[in-house]
Amino acid sequence: MQFSTKTLLALLPYFLQANAGASGTGTTTRYWDCCKPSCAWPGKFNLAAGSNPVQMCDIKDQPLLDSNAASGCAGGPAYQCSNESPWAVDDNLAYGYAAVNIAGGSEASWCCACYELTFTSGAVAGQKMIVQATNTGSDLSGNQFDISIPGGGVGIFNGCTNMFGAPSSGWGAQYGGIASRSSCDSFPAALKDGCYWRYDWFKGADNPSVSFKQVACPAALTAKTGCARADDSGAPAADSPAANAPAPATSSPVAVTPSYPVVSSPAAQLTTTSTPTPAASTSSSTSTPAVSPGIFLQPSPSSNITTPAPSPSPVATYSAAPEVVTVTIEGCEAQY
């Protein structure tokens, strides 16, 4: 079978879509349980060279280097670091972290991936937030982002009583957390800014809906977690000129890791088994939204598709004779 150049160029968008990341519509909730994030365990996904699973901290909020350390919510020494709190980049963009469940995926495809959320309801409708997936949970539905916000409710597990002396059910309600900005005043210093963020930049929004797309992780996010995926593109994650603005200083000196140049498609991931970890909590249950997970096709590195160069003329012209394109895939050659 033979295709003309015109036909092949018309098919180009479909080849490009094959490398696109996850996207669609989804829901948000909020939580902060102080437990070790599930993406802090080793062997769950393919890391970029020199990167590590999500950074975790000890009970004194200092970096803990043993990625096999058990969670503080299961009697171990590992907790979520306080600097994984959200912050405003500007009036329309914020950065943060979330427990994630992407329809059709798994931890192997979403751990340490970044997603640009565009809020579509509530007081923050139209504002954007880029989150890095640091956690997951069996109680999350497809395309749900459980945003890590101090004071957002501990949910199923509570490590905050051990780590920060929080009440036995966490700060405020177990699901949903505190009910006013003034409640943040009594929080530990390391968590206050993240707590205030909910009522300042986030305008007290209560689980707004979102549209989302997978993007390259900003360096400011990976610097805090020390985690970068092998398939992250390393390209700018958003159009905002402040997209790679430095993160604010925090009281917890978590080790930093630079960004890495990699690819954005979550198609081919390394999936391994690991020690079970506690699930992330959600502040409220939500119905499963409409799903548009995108197409996850990843051409083999050995594939080679050769197409004729476009004509330099501003008006495309084509000869009557069809042009031939040779496609070589893993040593097999065919002509079209």
Rounded to whole angstroms, how far apart are CA atoms 124 and 93? 10
- Taking Cα atoms as reference points, which of 140, 94, 114 lies closest to residue 48? 114
**Residue 302 burial by Cβ neighbours in a 10 Å radius (0-12, 13-18, 19+):** exposed
Strand partners, 37: none
Single out the catalytic residue among 33, 61, 193, 232: 33
| Structure token pair of residue 329 | 């895939």
Is the CB of residue 250 less than 8 Å from the CB of residue 83? yes
CB-based contacts of 259, cutoff 8 Å, min separation 6? 217, 218, 219, 222, 228, 232, 234
Element (H, E) at 313: none
| Structure token pair of residue 207 | 């689980």
- Taking Cα atoms as reference points, which of 285, 283, 54, 284 lies closest to residue 170? 283
Site of tokens 């539905």: 141
- Taking Cα atoms as reference points, which of 254, 289, 295, 237 lies closest to residue 22? 295
Element (H, E) at 22: none
| Structure token pair of residue 336 | 């079209």
One-letter amino acid for residue 236 of the chain: P
Task: Kindly report the number of other CB atoms within 10 A of residue 89's CB atom.
Answer: 24
Strand partners, 55: none
Please say if 239 is a catalytic residue. no
Q: What is the DSSP string of 66-79?
A: -TTPPBGGGTSSBB
Task: Kindly report the number of other CB atoms within 10 A of residue 12's CB atom.
Answer: 10
What is the set of active-site residues? Answer: 33
